[in-house]
């Protein structure tokens, strides 16, 4: 089994910032899965959603995840919806540990407000919309080795908590 650390969680829970910090501390590579998809497609996430639709984005996401998961010693920050497909969760499980970052709905709303790069929240990033998406995804986020609430914590504090708990 590989030793990777996969960070999962809703948009705005700090996966990318915490992932960078963790990778630096471990001396491992940091991989932002959304960035891998963007580099390969030559399009932004927003452009992929607009021109090809969410289903096509999910196929690109799975392909990128499966490939990344074949390599060791990486901290991988996944997109907020990457946990939904059971195939993706199986690929992460087989390749390391899954750390789910959470935050209060209010914190998430504050962090994602005004971000036009997140197509799923472009039309509506209200507390109600975020709560309803979180509810639908909760059982997938719960499928993790470790869950950490990032509300009110610094990136460094969360990274320390991950390292202490794994």
Q: Annotated binding residues for Mg(2+), as ranges?
A: 16
| Closest C-alpha among 52, 48, 51 to residue 38 | 48
**Interface with ligand S3P includes 118 (CB under 6 A)?**
yes
User: Among 27, 12, 36, which Cα is nearest to 75's?
Assistant: 27
Among 22, 65, 75, 79, binds ligand S3P (CB under 6 A): 79
- The Cα 73–Cα 137 span in angstroms is 28
Of residues 94 through 113, those in contact with ligand S3P by CB under 6 A are none
From 14, 19, 80, 96, residue interacting with ligand S3P (rule: CB under 6 A): 80
The only residue of 66, 105, 107, 119 in contact with ligand S3P, by rule CB under 6 A: 119
Would you give the DSSP letter of residue 27? Answer: T
Q: Is 41 in the site for ligand S3P (CB under 6 A)?
A: no
Question: Which of 31, 34, 99, 103 lies at the binding interface for ligand S3P (CB under 6 A)?
Answer: 34
The strand ranges marked E within the chain are 4-8, 29-32, 74-77, 96-102, 146-149
Residues engaged in binding ligand S3P (CB under 6 A):
11, 15, 34, 45, 79-81, 118-120
């Amino acid at each position: 089994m590989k030793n990777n650390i996969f960070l999962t969680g809703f948009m705005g829970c700090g996966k990318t910032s915490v992932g960078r910090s963790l990778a630096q501390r471990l001396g491992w590579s940091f991989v932002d899965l959304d960035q891998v998809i963007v580099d390969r497609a030559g399009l932004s996430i927003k452009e992929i959603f607009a021109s090809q639709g969410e289903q096509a984005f999910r196929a690109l996401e799975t392909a990128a995840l499966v490939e990344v998961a074949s390599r060791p010693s990486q901290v991988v920050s996944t997109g907020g919806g990457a946990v939904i497909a059971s195939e993706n969760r199986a690929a992460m499980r087989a390749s390391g540990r899954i750390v789910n970052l959470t935050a209060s709905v209010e914190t998430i709303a504050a962090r994602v407000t005004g971000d036009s790069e997140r197509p799923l929240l472009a039309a509506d990033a209200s507390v109600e919309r975020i709560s309803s998406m979180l509810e639908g995804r909760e059982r997938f986020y719960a499928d993790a080795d470790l869950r950490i609430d990032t509300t009110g914590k610094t990136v460094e504090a969360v990274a320390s908590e991950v390292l202490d708990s794994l």
